[in-house]
Amino acid sequence: MDFAYVLWFVAVFSSIMVVHSKEVFHSALYLALTFVAVAGLFLMLDAEFLAVIQILIYAGAVTVIALFAIMLTRREEGVDVLGLSLNSMKIISVVVFGVVIISIIVFSQVGLEEKLIYGSTYNIATLLFESYILHFELIAYLLLGALIAAVYLARRDENES
């Protein structure tokens, strides 16, 4: 059985649950699961660089921003979002971390000297800085503008409170 099918079903199920789950907090967690599954599918498609970027930006940054927005706009106080006690959550995270580390050590087969030709970061960087350098600079300006806009919008006025 191809592992891509598992990721396929995880991606579809978790994106349905983003729409369907009652608590918005759970939606954000399912959103992170969707992003991780899509990153795995990128790995299946020989796009290792994109898989890492996907986990860093989507599963890392965007999900955390969404969680911050949810917590800052929450009306009710002290909701137990997962229905678990703090100690059991600690045990669960330690177990998950251990399983991930052990499976990386046991199952990893790619050596450092192995050459990946198609989707290697070197080829992507060559294409980016030779053919698409103008687009790269425009994206840099876009990110700067978004940064300034986000800070401007979210700041608190001095005379407000």
92 vs 149, beta carbon nearer another protein: 149
Residue 158 CA to residue 161 CA, distance in Å, equals: 7
Least spacing, CB of residue 105 vs another protein, in Å: 27
Long-range CB contacts for residues 75-80, cutoff 8 Å, separation at least 24:
79/23, 79/25
For residues 87 and 90, give the distance between their C-alpha atoms in angstroms, rounded to a whole number. 5
The answer to whether residues 10 and 65 touch, using CB atoms and an 8 Å cutoff, is no
Q: Considering the rule CB under 8 A, would residue 24 count as an interface residue with another protein?
A: yes
Residue from 50, 52, 55, 81 touching another protein (CB under 8 A): that is 50
Q: Does 55 bind another protein (CB under 8 A)?
A: no
Nearer to another protein, 20 or 90 (CB): 20
Under the binding rule (CB under 8 A), the answer on residue 33 touching another protein is: no
For another protein, which stretch binds (CB under 8 A), given 82-90, 92-100, 101-109, 142-150?
142-150
Q: Which helix (H) or strand (E) holds 46?
A: none
Query: Of the two residues 71 and 95, which places its CB atom closer to another protein in the complex?
Result: 71
The DSSP output letter for 155 is P
